[in-house]
């Protein structure tokens, strides 16, 4: 599957995301994930969404609903 192909999944393949558009705060979300120990594996903005959801689900539903 190509780099820009959908869906993008988290590193464990548990959360998949398909989106059309540009994630404006991609650098901030990427930095937050990297600060929390996520390796710098992100190649696209959509990819960070799946990882962010997975991390927030791990922390609890209320954290999932917070803005980064």
pLDDT tens profile 51-62: 888 887 777 766
Which residue has better confidence, 27 or 63? 27
Q: How many residues are present in the chain?
A: 68
How far is C-alpha 60 from the geometric centre of its chain's CA atoms? 16
Other beta carbons within 10 angstroms of residue 56's beta carbon come to: 17
Joined together, the tokens standing for residue 11 give 């590193």
Residues 6+ apart with CB under 8 A from 38: 51, 55
* Model pLDDT, residue 1: 47
pTM of the model: 0.61
C-alpha span between 3 and 24 (Å, rounded): 19
pLDDT in tens, 7-37: 877 777 777 888 877 888 888 888 888 888 7
* Model pLDDT, residue 13: 79
Nearest to 51 by CA among 65, 24, 33: 33
* Model pLDDT, residue 19: 81
* Model pLDDT, residue 65: 61
């Amino acid at each position: 599957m190509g780099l820009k192909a959908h869906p993008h999944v988290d590193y464990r393949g548990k959360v998949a995301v398909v989106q059309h558009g540009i994630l404006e705060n991609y650098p901030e979300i990427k930095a937050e994930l990297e600060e929390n120990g996520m390796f710098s594996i992100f190649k696209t903005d959509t990819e960070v969404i799946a990882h962010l959801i997975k991390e927030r689900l791990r922390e609890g539903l209320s954290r999932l609903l917070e803005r980064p």
